[in-house]
Amino acid sequence: MKRAGLKRRRVMASLVPAGAGIVVDVGADHGHVARALGAIATERMPNRMRRLPGDDEVAWVVADGLLPFRRVDVAVIGGMGALTIAGILERGPRPSVAVLHAQDDPPRLRLWLAEHGWRIEEEALAPEAGRYAEILRAVPGEETSAGLALELGPRLLEGTDPYLIPHLEQLAGWLREVVLATEGRAADKHARAAERLTYVEGALKRRR
C-alpha cells in the first residue's frame, strides 16, 4: 500500500465485515483497499484510475459514486469531504454497510448520518498526517446519541481505541487555541469552542 494514509486504509479495510458480498471502494485511488478486500474499485475520473502495472486482481469501474450498481452490500468511501460522502450515499443505491472517512469534517458527516437514517456502529482512529483520521462504520438504523457526543464520535468516546487519548488531547489543544484567539472578538465561535473544550476535557478526565 502507498505509505500516506496506509494505516487509515488498513483500518478502513478492517471495518468491512467478513464475507460481506458486493463491496465497492468508491474513489479507489491506487485500489489498495479494493485489492485487500477483493472489492470493486470505482473512480469518477478515468485519469485518476491509478491501476498498478500487471494488476488484474482489481475490477475497475468508471462511476459517479454507487450509481451504476443495482445492489451494494458494503460501500467504502474514504479520503473525501463529508458533503461529498453524503451526496454519494444520498444518490444511492443505499448499501447495507458503509465504511466512511471524511477528511475535512467528521462531526458534519456524523450529524448527516444521524439525520438520514444511519446508525454509527463502530468507530476507529488511525494516525495520518500528524493527526488522527476518524473512520466509522454505519448501518441503516436510528442513531440514539446526540449533541457533542454524536459530533465527536459516540462509539469512539464509549470505546477503547488506543489513539483516543492522544486524539482528544490534540483536539483540546486546538480548541484552547481557538478559545484564546476568539476571546473578545467572535462571541459565537468563542462560546462554541469553549463548550467543546469543556466537553473534551471532561471526556479526558473520565479516561485518565
Ligand X SMILES: C[S@@+](CC[C@H](N)C(=O)[O-])C[C@H]1O[C@@H](n2cnc3c(N)ncnc32)[C@H](O)[C@@H]1O
Q: Is 48 in the site for ligand X (CB under 6 A)?
A: yes
182 and 190 in contact (C-beta within 8 Å)?
Answer: yes
**For ligand X, which residue of 51, 64, 121, 198 counts as binding (CB under 6 A)?**
64
Site for ligand X in 88-127 (CB under 6 A): 88
Q: Which stretch binds ligand X (CB under 6 A): 40-48, 164-172, 176-184, 186-194?
A: 40-48
Q: Is 62 in the site for ligand X (CB under 6 A)?
A: no
| Least distance between ligand X and beta carbon 2 (Å) | 8
**For ligand X, which residue of 65, 95, 106, 153 counts as binding (CB under 6 A)?**
65
Separation between Cα atoms, residue 29 and residue 129, nearest integer Å:
18
Separation between Cα atoms, residue 167 and residue 156, nearest integer Å:
10
Strand 97-102 with 131-140, pairing: antiparallel
Give whichever of 25 and 161 is closer to ligand X, judged by the CB atom: 25
Give whichever of 69 and 118 is closer to ligand X, judged by the CB atom: 69
Tracing cell 465497492 back to the chain, one arrives at 24
Give whichever of 28 and 156 is closer to ligand X, judged by the CB atom: 28
Residue nearest to ligand X (CB): 27
Give whichever of 35 and 196 is closer to ligand X, judged by the CB atom: 35
CB-based burial of residue 90 (10 Å sphere; 0-12 exposed, 13-18 middle, 19+ buried)? exposed
Give whichever of 16 and 175 is closer to ligand X, judged by the CB atom: 16
Site for ligand X in 20-39 (CB under 6 A): 26-29
Give whichever of 132 and 199 is closer to ligand X, judged by the CB atom: 132
- The C-alpha angle with vertex 106 and arms to 69 and 58, in degrees rounded to 5, equals 35
Q: Is 44 in the site for ligand X (CB under 6 A)?
A: yes
Residues that bind ligand X (CB under 6 A): 5, 9, 26-29, 42-45, 48, 63-65, 78-80, 84, 88
